[in-house]
Amino acid sequence: MKKILIFLGALAVLPLFGQISVPAPSPLCKLEQKVGLGTITIEYSRPGMKNRNIFSEANPLVPYGKMWRTGANAATRVSFSEDVKVEGRPVSKGTYALFTVPGKEMWEIILYSDANVSGVPQDYDRTKEVVRVSVEPHTLVAYTFETFFIDINDIKNESATMNLVWESTLVPIRLSFDVDSKVMANIDKVIAGPSSNDYYQAARYYYDANKDMARAQEWAHRANELAPTFWKLRLESLILASLGRKPEAIEAAQRSKAMAAEAGNDEYVKMNDLSIQEWSN
């Protein structure tokens, strides 16, 4: 486009041209789906058939045996918020580029650790493959899909299927998650009651916010019954002192000091010494 300069005396005026917005040929799509305890997020661009052969042996848009970005524009990105198994193969939670190698009988599904690539890299690094599995494609008889799409279906507590669908081809990729052991661990933890740290955090908040000190002392004492540490005992001593229970505060401070000395924490030793001196007067 030519730039036009109009001179008005000593003033040069450069016309400004606005950008024209047009529909994207392959619109961007973002899918988020909860499965089990986690979330699957897929970001990809959706190309259309536009009277082209997609997966065929006669002049196809996506040839068999050649790696495909599995969408249009930048590489498709798949994120898992929890560890997952892809067709039974373990994959750590994270974000990956999704590549595929279409085939008439089998498709290869690839998760690539560099999720910021723009399509299939020219210098493809096989060491960055997190997983490569083979999946059998299905042929759809009743319907042809004009626009490529990815969906998450067959959702159960511990599994789901990620489907790649275009033209009359559907490629199902089985995903599974370790939900049961995590839920059972949470159940056991809750049924067992609050942990020492839970009691400590509650007591800490009550003390710092100057709330009910009697309740704060109950929680601090319970924290130290379950798993005493020098910082938990230090908190209990401060709460006891605020309640005017100086002999008990000194006893808790002495225990805190001894544990701090054993751990090599001179700061807590000094703080307890000062408090013991103050409360003894």
Q: Which two tokens stand for residue 107?
A: 């498709």
Q: Which residues pair with 133 in a beta bridge?
A: 109
Give the tens place of pLDDT for each residue, 74-107: 999 999 999 999 999 999 999 999 999 999 999 9
Contact yes or no for 224/236 (Cβ under 8 A): yes
pLDDT value at residue 11: 44
- For CATH 1.25.40.10, the residue range(s) in the chain are 194-280
Measured CA to CA, the distance from residue 163 to residue 38 in angstroms comes to 18
Say if residue 199's pLDDT is above 50: yes
Residue 244 makes CB contacts below 8 A (sequence gap 6+) with: none
The rounded mean pLDDT for the chain is 91
Residue 254 makes CB contacts below 8 A (sequence gap 6+) with: 272, 276
Residue 201 makes CB contacts below 8 A (sequence gap 6+) with: none
- What homologous superfamily does CATH list for 194-280? Tetratricopeptide repeat domain (1.25.40.10)
Give the tens place of pLDDT for each residue, 101-144: 999 999 999 999 999 998 899 999 999 999 999 999 999 988 89
> Which pLDDT band, with edges at 50, 70 and 90, does 17 fall under?
low
pLDDT value at residue 8: 38
Give the tens place of pLDDT for each residue, 221-274: 999 999 999 999 999 999 999 999 999 999 999 999 999 999 999 999 999 999
pTM of the model: 0.71
Residue located via tokens 């009743």: 142
